[in-house]
């Protein structure tokens, strides 16, 4: 970003409020704050704290394709209690909405704030569940179950009519799963398995034809990343740091992975460009078993373990995204 001395003599628009959608390189003078401002691109991604969840919890889930400013999170765990709470983000704070019908932890979750799916999960007792519920923006309704009960897997899907649930764990008896199930709005159908069965992993994707699954336990902690093309999973380049209990946001060609446990509990964030993972700006609060959603340039991280249960939320601005800066007089 240039300094005032470097642009002095240039004619600048004077406005009472900052432009709502400034473009990179745009400069203006804010007469209300008496500040010379401009729009710049960030060199690296960064996290900023935002309003806390109302309920601290880990192993919560999200409608992962919801834009960051309308994020929806639900369910969760605070040993020994499974939670049913649903909360909606408005860009700065969270509001509690109607609960899911079945309290469970580690559910598969996908969709947006007005159309989402919550599937599977863990209830104690009896253990993993096949329960599936659909969200219409107001209420949750039970629909047809998963074929196999599971929790702490990965998921993908942009609405409540199509999505994927893959990997995870089942108990009792204990079993690590490679299973992949596809939701068509009415029923779940088993399709091609992951190459590496694992749990406490993350997944992203906007449809059933293209998804990404990464990290987890297999049973050792792994950085394995797999890409789904609608028919098969293909192993691609691993995360730089293997971890479990992480979260992610984005799509199969552009994603961000964050948090988890290596051990120790991690604040690491990595960005996926469709080919490789690159380490980027860390979370402000290291935690595992958190959730997230949004895009690779505008994501949210919520809840988790620090190791105590967390209600912290942070918003991500990816590298290259526009940021408004105030000019200095040096």
DSSP 100-163: PSS--BS-EEEEETTEEEEE--EETTTEE---EEEE-SS-EEEEPPPSS--BS-EEE-SSSSSE
Q: Which H or E run includes 6? A: helix 4-7
User: Is cis: bond before 80, omega within 30 of 0?
Assistant: yes
Kindly tell me the burial class for residue 67, based on how many C-beta atoms sit within 10 Å of its own C-beta (0-12, 13-18, 19 or more): middle
> What pLDDT is recorded for position 30?
86
CA-wise closest residue to 131 among 140, 139, 121, 72:
121
Q: Are 290 and 58 in contact (CB under 8 A)?
A: yes
Taking the C-alpha atoms of residue 99 and residue 146, their distance in angstroms, rounded to an integer, is: 20
> What pLDDT is recorded for position 26?
77
Residue bearing tokens 């993993």: 128
> What pLDDT is recorded for position 5?
47
> What pLDDT is recorded for position 73?
98
> What pLDDT is recorded for position 1?
45
Q: How far apart are the first and last CA of the chain?
A: 12
Taking the C-alpha atoms of residue 167 and residue 246, their distance in angstroms, rounded to an integer, is: 14
User: Residue 142, Cβ neighbours under 10 Å: how many?
Assistant: 12
Averaged in consecutive runs of 10 residues, what is the pLDDT profile of the chain (330 residues)?
53 83 76 80 83 98 94 95 96 98 97 98 90 98 98 97 98 94 98 98 97 97 98 98 98 98 97 97 98 96 96 92 61
Taking the C-alpha atoms of residue 63 and residue 97, their distance in angstroms, rounded to an integer, is: 14
User: Residue 222, Cβ neighbours under 10 Å: how many?
Assistant: 20
Q: What is the DSSP letter of 328?
A: P
> What pLDDT is recorded for position 134?
98
SS3 69: helix
Q: How much is the pTM?
A: 0.86
Dihedral pair phi/psi, residue 7, rounded to 5°: -115, 5
> What pLDDT is recorded for position 75?
98
Q: What domains, with CATH codes, occur in the chain? A: 4-41 (no CATH), 46-317 (2.120.10.80)
């Amino acid at each position: 970003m240039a300094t005032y001395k470097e642009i002095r003599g240039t004619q600048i628009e004077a406005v009472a409020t900052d432009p709502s959608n400034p473009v990179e390189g745009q400069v203006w003078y804010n007469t209300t704050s008496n500040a010379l401002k401009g729009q710049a691109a960030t060199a690296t991604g960064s996290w900023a704290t935002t309003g806390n969840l109302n309920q601290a919890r880990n192993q919560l889930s999200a409608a992962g394709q919801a834009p960051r400013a309308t994020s929806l999170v639900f369910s969760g765990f605070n040993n020994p209690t499974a939670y049913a709470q649903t909360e909606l983000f408005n860009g700065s704070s969270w509001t509690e909405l109607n609960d899911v019908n079945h309290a469970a932890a580690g559910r598969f979750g996908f969709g947006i704030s007005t159309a989402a799916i919550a599937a599977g999960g863990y209830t104690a007792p009896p253990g993993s569940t096949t329960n599936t519920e659909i969200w219409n923006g107001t209420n949750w309704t039970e629909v047809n179950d998963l074929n196999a009960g599971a929790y702490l897997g990965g998921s993908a899907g942009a609405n409540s009519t199509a999505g994927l649930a893959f990997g995870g764990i089942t108990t009792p008896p204990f079993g690590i799963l490679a299973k992949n199930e596809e939701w068509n709005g009415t029923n779940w159908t088993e399709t091609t398995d992951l190459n590496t069965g694992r749990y406490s992993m993350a997944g992203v994707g906007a449809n059933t034809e293209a998804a990404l699954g990464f990290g987890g336990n297999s049973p050792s902690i792994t950085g394995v990343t797999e890409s789904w093309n609608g028919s098969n999973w293909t192993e691609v380049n691993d995360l730089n740091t293997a971890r479990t209990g992480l979260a992610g946001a984005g799509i199969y060609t552009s994603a961000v992975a964050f948090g988890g446990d290596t051990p120790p509990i991690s604040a690491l964030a990595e960005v996926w460009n469709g080919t490789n993972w690159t380490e980027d700006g860390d979370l402000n609060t290291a935690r595992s078993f958190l959730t997230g959603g949004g895009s690779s340039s505008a994501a949210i991280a919520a809840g988790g373990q620090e190791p105590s249960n967390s209600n912290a939320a942070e918003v991500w601005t990816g590298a290259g995204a526009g940021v408004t800066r105030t000019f200095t007089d040096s």
